[in-house]
């Protein structure tokens, strides 16, 4: 009996160590759910619902991984928003470097599909890097950048993508484009168009107000918006070396 008990204790200890190793992250990275589980996550590059039309290399799970300081600042943003019946929704956080290379290959494959055009209605995909919409060496891989939006918790956010529906491109009115379960920022996420520029004059007053609210709220915690993408924010001083570890499922 003693030997059985000893074996069980040893087995559980090994299992615990293996689980901890499986979940360990380098460079002060953490799972955002471990910092604030109330922040909504829709990690699009772990799905087929993105401009490439399939999961990107290195996205083995739909989890937001961030540097710890970034996570704590996002938690502070979320606390402010919660009092206003709002929430952050994360579209992308840390991005393995291999995913950026996957984007490069996609841009050079010589095809322009209808799915591509939903996200790039006017710009050829081969021009996206030159124009600064996609980077082969992304700040996301350093842990310094995030893609996100706002969700109105009082609104009906239940709409889901209907595979049989022919959705309009990302610049179309909110009811005609792919549903995202968030406030109407004037374009969909990852919309490579001048209308997706944060200060675009072509959006209406309500859309402009939402963008300004997002930028102002994030700025209180030191985040800086990228002018060509209303959804993209970075935290100066957090970056550094790019990482390429894959995003794995979080374990409790």
Distance CA 248, CA 8 (A): 28
Burial status of residue 62 (CB atoms within 10 A of its CB: 0-12, 13-18, 19 or more): middle
The structural domains of the chain, ordered by start, are 29-234 (3.30.1380.10)
pLDDT digits (tens, 9 = 90+) for 43-96: 999 999 999 999 999 999 999 999 999 999 999 999 999 999 999 999 999 999
Distance CA 214, CA 103 (A): 27
The half-sphere exposure of 83 on its side-chain side, counting CA atoms within 13 A, is 6
Taking residue 236's Cβ as centre, other Cβ atoms within 10 Å add up to: 9
Strands 229-234 and 145-152: antiparallel
pTM of the entire predicted model: 0.88
pLDDT digits (tens, 9 = 90+) for 159-197: 999 988 999 999 999 999 999 999 999 999 999 999 999
pLDDT digits (tens, 9 = 90+) for 102-135: 998 998 888 888 888 899 999 888 888 788 787 7
* Residue 115: per-residue pLDDT: 82
DSSP designation for 94: S
Q: Distances from the Cα of 41 to the Cαs of 80, 87, 100, 147, 159, in angstroms?
A: 18, 10, 20, 11, 16
Helices (H) and strands (E) in the chain, counts: 6, 7
pLDDT of residue 200 exceeding 90, the answer is yes
Q: Which of 184, 197, 222 is nearest to 67 (CA)?
A: 222
Burial status of residue 180 (CB atoms within 10 A of its CB: 0-12, 13-18, 19 or more): buried
């Amino acid at each position: 009996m003693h030997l059985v008990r000893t074996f069980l204790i040893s087995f559980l200890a090994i299992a615990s160590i293996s689980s901890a190793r499986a979940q360990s992250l380098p460079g002060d990275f953490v799972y955002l759910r471990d910092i604030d589980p109330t922040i909504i996550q829709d990690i699009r590059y772990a799905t087929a619902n993105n401009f490439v039309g399939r999961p990107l290399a290195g996205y083995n799970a739909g989890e937001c991984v961030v540097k710890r300081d970034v996570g704590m600042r996002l938690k502070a943003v979320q606390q402010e928003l919660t009092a206003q019946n709002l929430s952050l929704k994360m579209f992308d956080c840390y991005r393995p470097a291999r995913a950026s290379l996957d984007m490069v290959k996609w841009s050079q494959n010589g095809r322009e599909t209808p799915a591509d055009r939903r996200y790039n209605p006017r710009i050829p995909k081969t021009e996206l890097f030159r124009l600064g919409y996609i980077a082969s060496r992304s700040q996301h891989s350093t842990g310094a950048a995030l893609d996100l939006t706002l969700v109105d918790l009082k609104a009906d956010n239940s709409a889901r993508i209907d595979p049989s529906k022919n959705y309009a491109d990302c610049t179309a009115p909110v009811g005609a484009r792919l549903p995202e379960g968030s406030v109407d920022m004037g374009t969909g996420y990852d919309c490579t168009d001048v209308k997706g520029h944060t200060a675009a004059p072509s959006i209406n007053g309500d859309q402009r107000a939402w963008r300004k609210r997002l930028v102002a709220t994030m700025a209180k915690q030191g985040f800086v918006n990228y002018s060509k993408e209303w959804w993209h924010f970075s935290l100066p001083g957090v970056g550094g070396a790019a990482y390429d570890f894959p995003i794995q499922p979080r374990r409790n």
